[in-house]
A and B are shown apart, each in its own frame.
Chain A
């Protein structure tokens, strides 16, 4: 359901205004917030995600400001399940260009897939990296250096972690 101007106005007077919407409505709400002449949230300042592992969801947060009317911030939040295949939300890049690289970063670090994003690739980690390191269940590698023949506990942890040791090295061990 798209909120009304009055509801948003009321929200904005709160301490930290936040609007939680469903994934299906996100694009419509974003367009409304941007195009409504009384709101004009034309500046999407910050895009990020939070991994709420206990609630089993990943929350994507967009912080919106209005350059024209000089108000904000309004946190636009949307939730998606943690499982990698279902972890999808619509991309807001068509509405605010500024989301493009920040959504790539959220995909890279959290594994959120943004539907409708034109160029969803890893941005900070390298392309061969498998997992998403900002998730709360990420297991950091025991050895930060590449080890040609991992063994013992290092191998177990490397397998759990997945991305650090090249697949060929794991293959050779089998």
Chain B
């Protein structure tokens, strides 16, 4: 205590992570605290860096497909699709209709499992230690069983090919998918009720970590994060890649852009994904599941560059590719959604308590395999 009777305080520097359950992997936040409040925050990444892009430039176009599984290891199907889409765009490959439907089914199932687990982990951060995650993981496991039946692997599916998919879905597999989708509306009702009627959760998440709309656009935030802030932008609607223009679904948009909105947007997106899945599973046409004219052996892409992107569960997943006309990419760049969504972390956390910083990070929904590449 000083002579004037005022208690003099100092700010405290704390390194949160890289080995901490709340950081969702090896990620560090260097925070400066004034008491309980965050006054400065610097994200430190790169602990899982393996120069994925350089690997992609040293191997054949198709040989890189299994590597994309390892970017966002929750959503290997959408990673495959984004890469395949970028290459198909450059090579001018037309994908058969059945393959497009299969891709939509896989991508939307991926969205379901990603959001269910993402919300579960967010609630873990809020203090609902592992019960909600287990409900999410239980449903996810059924989807992973389906992925395993189709592709042979639960998580590292390596399922898409340029011009289509690797294995066709037979009637038995389609029935399996329909059974899974039929469970979801009931599960979502339960899951949503469990969370949104909980007063502790509302107190912890509402008006916390607000991201204004203009800042979200200017900082290149995409996916559920941007939509929670009121940015009405969904690549499925804007680019109409695949066969998304044939399905009837809405794009949920939030108002305040706080943690609660980001949580609710994911619930609503899951409901829309169920709608898309129901339509896709009933309308799926017969036909080839891969374009027969594509020669995957010694596959070459015409010289030039191209950017292909899809609406992955976490946001805009893009691939920028440069080809010299050979069997390998000259330049292979990934635009990972969770890395770019993470860059705004400091703006959202300033003025909040440390415990809030943890749930704000949880609401971004990051996977370090993709952030660090």
The residues of A with any CB-CB pair to B shorter than 8 Å are 16, 18, 42-46, 48, 50-51, 61, 63, 67, 70, 73, 75, 96-102, 109, 122-126, 133-134
**Closest-CB distance, B54 to chain A (whole angstroms):** 6
Q: Is the CB of A123 within 8 A of B318?
A: no
Q: B339 and A134: CB pair below 8 A?
A: no
Q: Are A134 and B219 in contact, CB atoms less than 8 angstroms apart?
A: no
Contact B220 A44 (CB under 8 A): yes
Q: Which residues of A contact B231 (CB under 8 A)?
A: 67
User: Does residue B46 face the partner (Cβ distance < 8 Å to A)?
Assistant: yes
Assess whether B217 is in contact with A67, with CB atoms less than 8 Å apart.
Answer: yes
Main secondary structure of the interface of B (DSSP, over half): mixed
Check B46–A126 contact: CB distance below 8 A: yes
Q: Which of A44, A102, A126, A134 interacts with B53 by CB under 8 Å? A: A134
Chain A residues with CB below 8 A from B49, complex form: 124-125
Q: How far is the CA of A55 from the CA of B54 in the complex (A)?
A: 20
Contacts of B281 in A (CB 8 A): none
Complex formed: what's the CA distance from A91 to B322 in Å?
23
Q: Which residues of B143-190 are within 8 A (CB) of A?
A: none
Q: Does B218 contact A (CB under 8 A)?
A: yes
Q: Which residues of B contact A134 (CB under 8 A)?
A: 51, 53-54
Contact: A124 with B372, CB < 8 Å? yes
CB-CB < 8 A to A45: which residues of B? Answer: 220, 222, 309, 316, 318, 335
Query: What 18 new A-B contacts, CB under 8 Å, besides A97-B215, A97-B220?
Result: A43-B217, A43-B220, A45-B220, A45-B316, A46-B335, A48-B320, A48-B333, A50-B330, A63-B307, A67-B217, A98-B343, A109-B53, A123-B45, A124-B45, A124-B49, A124-B373, A133-B54, A134-B53
Task: Report yes or no: B51 in contact with A96, Cβ–Cβ below 8 A.
Answer: no
**C-alpha gap A87/B287 in the complex (Å):** 52
- With contacts A75-B307, A133-B54 taken as known, whether A97 is within 8 angstroms of B219 at the C-beta atoms is yes
Q: Are A16 and B218 in contact (CB under 8 A)?
A: no
Neighbour of A102 across the interface among B306, B309, B340, CB < 8 A:
B340
Which residue of A is nearest B335, CB measured? A46
**How close is A136's CB to chain B, nearest CB, in angstroms?**
9
Distance A61 CA – B320 CA, assembled complex (angstroms): 10
**Complex Cα spacing A45 to B334, Å:** 11
Residues of A within 8 A of B372 (CB): 124
The reply to whether the CB of B238 lies closer than 8 angstroms to some CB of chain A is yes
A59 to chain B, nearest CB (A): 9
CA distance A96 to B215 in the complex (A): 10
Q: Decide if A98 touches B218 in the complex (CB within 8 Å).
A: yes
Instruction: State in angstroms the CA–CA spacing of A45 and B226 once bound together.
Output: 13
Interface status of B35 (Cβ within 8 A of chain A): no
**Beta-carbon nearest neighbor of A98 in chain B:** B220
Cβ–Cβ < 8 Å partners of A97 in chain B: 215, 218-220, 344
CB distance from A77 to the nearest CB of B (A): 9
Interface centre among B51, B217, B316, B372 (most CB of A within 10 A): B217
Chain A residue with the shortest CB-CB distance to B373: A124
Q: B288 near A: Cβ within 8 Å?
A: no
**Interface set, chain B 295-347, CB cutoff 8 A to A:** 304-307, 309, 316, 318, 320, 322, 330-331, 333, 335, 339-340, 343-344
Which of A46, A98, A126 is close to B307, meaning CB atoms less than 8 Å apart? A46
User: Can you list 12 A-B contacts with CB-CB less than 8 angstroms, sorted by A residue number?
Assistant: A18-B305, A42-B218, A46-B320, A61-B320, A63-B307, A67-B231, A67-B233, A98-B219, A101-B340, A102-B340, A124-B45, A124-B373
Q: Once bound together, how far apart are the Cα atoms of A61 and B343, in whole Å?
A: 19
